[in-house]
Amino acid sequence: MSTSLERRRRFAVEALNRWQDHTSTCRQQDVACSATSIAETPPMLQRSDSLDHSTALSLDNIRQSLIRQEDTIIFSLIERAQFAANEPVYQSGAIAVPGYAADGRQYSLLEYLLWETEQMHGRIRRYTSPDEHAFFPRDLPPLVLPPIQYSEVLAPYAREININDKVMALYLDHLIPGITEPGTDNNYGSSAMYDVLALQALSKRIHYGKFVAEAKFLANTEDYSSLIRQQDADGLMRLLTDEAVEAKVVERVRRKAATYGQDITSSSSAPGLDNGDLADSARPAGGERGCDSAKLHYKVEPEIVAELYRTWVMPLNKEVQIQYLLRRLEAP
């Protein structure tokens, strides 16, 4: 067994040394080892099968993707809500971590974990995908997999649009106080871990505005082009806004949060809820409602999730759309 362990260790060391040699060569040649260039990938990883063969990023699938992302966001909030607010997780210097910003400020635990997560995910090409946006885009590491060649759905400048600073602000200033109990319970690591998942899900949903904007532009090129030539951001906002659709989205996420976030407590003799009860429980409600001998509680208040979409997710999504559209005529 010890021989097998030593063999695995030797192989791991050799692989690490090969990768370090490659990275060192890149630096010596003044080559920026970015996460977007296949030329900087080690030769053994430059494969001919690095094309995206899925249709996940086709415009036809945008709506279904947005609906699936609702589920991801709601479940991530449910997971985070089980812990207290745990303010030290978000305070620079409150928890000693070996990570610092460019200005010398020590990262908070959340920033450190998010940075480390992006380092790991960045190496396996997560952020070469046009629907993924890093919170620390300037710090992305070299790839260990070849970048996938995606279909050119978006305009070339799309990658320059990144509003994750606003995503972080809405999460810390509005969402965490709304879904958690104040105070600390010392579950700092668990809280930060679920914070990362929630932030990534929110970022993806908000930046999907680029795909929405492209679909709307192609469906109504003449009207959008006229407003773009005038750089009329207000006019673009009026054209792309559909209040009826937005109201349906808010109601859908409210019902999903009520359904997914049920926490039913009852006496041992109380019967379970039937299908009618479950459907009824998806109506907008407060923290609990009577259900015969059972009481229904919510892990996350459905109205908080609805308000998140109404006040933050959809407005920020439309901000991304506007930024994208104002430059759309730069592209062919």
Residue with more model confidence, 47 or 125: 125
Asked whether residue 28 carries a pLDDT value surpassing 90, the answer given is no
Question: Whole-angstrom Cα distance, residue 79 to residue 77?
Answer: 5
The pLDDT tens digits of the residues spanning 153-179 come to: 899 999 999 999 999 999 999 999 999
Comparing 19-28, 196-205, 303-312, the range with the smallest average pLDDT is 19-28
Asked whether residue 89 carries a pLDDT value surpassing 80, the answer given is yes
Task: Please give, one letter per residue, the 3-state secondary structure of 267-317.
Answer: CCCCCCCCHHHHHHHCCCCCCEEEECCEEEEECCCHHHHHHHHHHHHHHHH
Task: Label residue 265 by pLDDT band (50, 70, 90).
Answer: low
The pLDDT tens digits of the residues spanning 180-204 come to: 999 999 999 999 999 999 999 999 9
Task: Label residue 37 by pLDDT band (50, 70, 90).
Answer: very low
Buried b (16+ CB within 10 A) or exposed e, 180-194: beeeeeeebebbbbb
CB 311 within 8 A of CB 142: no
Task: Label residue 61 by pLDDT band (50, 70, 90).
Answer: confident
Arithmetic mean of pLDDT, 317-330: 98
Comparing 39-43, 86-90, 137-141, the range with the smallest average pLDDT is 39-43
What pLDDT is attached to residue 225?
A: 98
Cα three-residue angle 211-212-217, rounded to 5 degrees: 95
Alpha carbons within 13 A on the beta-carbon side of 167: 24
**Closest-CA residue to 197 (of 320, 316, 83, 319):** 83
CB 212 within 8 A of CB 62: yes
pTM: 0.78
What pLDDT is attached to residue 296?
A: 74
Asked whether residue 50 carries a pLDDT value surpassing 90, the answer given is no
DSSP lists the bridge partners of residue 262 as: 298
Asked whether residue 276 carries a pLDDT value surpassing 60, the answer given is no
**Closest-CA residue to 177 (of 112, 87, 94, 285):** 87
Which structural domains are found in the chain, ordered by start?
59-252+302-330 (1.10.590.10), 262-298 (no CATH)
Asked whether residue 30 carries a pLDDT value surpassing 60, the answer given is no
Largest CA distance in the chain: 74
What pLDDT is attached to residue 263?
A: 75
Residue with more model confidence, 83 or 268: 83
What pLDDT is attached to residue 125?
A: 95
Residue with more model confidence, 155 or 263: 155
Q: In what order do the strands lie in the sheet with 262-265?
A: 262-265, 294-298, 288-291
Task: Label residue 147 by pLDDT band (50, 70, 90).
Answer: confident
The pLDDT tens digits of the residues spanning 219-237 come to: 999 999 999 999 999 999 9
Task: Give the gyration radius of the chain's Cα atoms.
Answer: 23
What pLDDT is attached to residue 92?
A: 97
For the record, the structure tokens of 4 come out as 């097998």
Local structure of residue 103 (DSSP, 8 states): T
Arithmetic mean of pLDDT, 109-138: 97
